[in-house]
A = this chain, B = another copy of it.
Amino acid sequence: MGRIKGAKPSGSVTSHDVARLAKVSQATVSRVLRDDPRVRPQTRERVLKVLAETRYEPNAAARAFRAGRADSIGVVVARLSYQLYPAMLEAIGAQLARLGRRMIVWDSDHGGDAPAIRAFRQGVVDGVILTAATAESEFLREVNAEGSAVVLLNRTVADYASDQVSSDNLDGGRRVAEYLVACGRERIALIGGIPRASTIRDRERGFRKSLERLDRELPPHYYFRSETFSHASGEQAVTRLMELASPPDAIFCVNDVLAMGAMDGARARGARVPDDLWIVGYDDIEIASWGAYDLTTVRQPMELMVAQAIDLLLARIDQRDAPVRHKCLPNELVIRGSTARQTTPPSQPARKPRP
């Protein structure tokens, strides 16, 4: 019981239906729904009763149409196979849900930014969080042209007029370099990646610059550029490095999966970590703490980054022409068993990188 006879298929009860049943006008129903104080308690009561009985739900399309807002936020992600991104997505989803916003997700691996562009321009979403932007992104060009509500999360792209939130990847690279040198590592190698993403570029740059500042060199044969950021790629890279006449005694990998690949590859060739080889990753994905890897890595303040990104985005939705803001949050070096068996790690925060 409690169902209304004659309701249209799929139970589409409208505010008019409710009004009729409660013997009030549709306007009054609308007022009750929106908690307008200008309704007599007695009337409100009656309407609420019918609302409950009919299990009325407002038509979202009509409401969005009328209000000009979708109450949805678009999120463009990439490579959900890399644990960092699901974690980020989870955080975004949780925080948006808390704010009463829905989350529409696009995977930039399947269609790039284009669907998100269109969705935004069609009003499907009120704003977009881009977690996978690169400088070549088509979306970013659009964004730059119009005054769209977009925030880049975990990416920075200079010259683009959108809000951006990232952690200090330059500084993260620096920390790793200083840590390895301070612990007496002699032959330090780097497994990097194609520099499309700003994160990767900055980590490498920060690492290199810091080595230079410490009068160390990163010889070309100690640098491997991975194409795919995959486990296999890390294995391949470490294999090359270990074939060298003088193999490295420490490797910084620009993300954790590369590091794990490198570790598995090194072990497969008989090397012990950390006795023979130190390995450092980046991101501190969940697996990094597991026994098999126990990986020293750099952790980004994910929840905070997400919170700030959402803050910026909602503010921009409210005010499209506000000045553009860039946020850059500090990282943390997490020292685990893949390094540091021989030397005591130095006190953490050395000096600031030059501005």
Contacts and interface: CB of A to CB of B under 8 A. Distances in A.
A102 B9 CA distance: 23
A260 interface: yes
Given A58-B122, A97-B107, A124-B60, A81 B87 contact: yes
Contact of A292 (B9, B70, B124, B292): B292
Nearest to A266: B291
Interface in A223-276: 231, 235, 260-261, 263-265, 267-268
A268 B286 CA distance: 19
Contact of A81 (B86, B231, B292): B86
Given A11-B146, A97-B110, A123 B264 contact: no
Nearest to A95: B110
A60 B122 contact: yes
A9 B85 CA distance: 34
Contacts of A87: 80-81
Query: How many monomers of this chain does the complex have?
Result: 2
- Contact-size category for A: 35 or more
A264 B290 contact: yes
Contacts of A146: 10-11
A27 interface: no
A90 B107 contact: yes
Interface string A50-68: 0000010111111011001
A104 B72 contact: yes
Contacts of A218: none
11 contacts: A60-B122, A61-B64, A64-B64, A83-B83, A83-B86, A93-B105, A94-B110, A97-B115, A103-B106, A264-B290, A264-B291
Given A61-B65, A61-B123, A231-B286, 5 more contacts: A11-B146, A81-B86, A93-B106, A94-B107, A94-B110
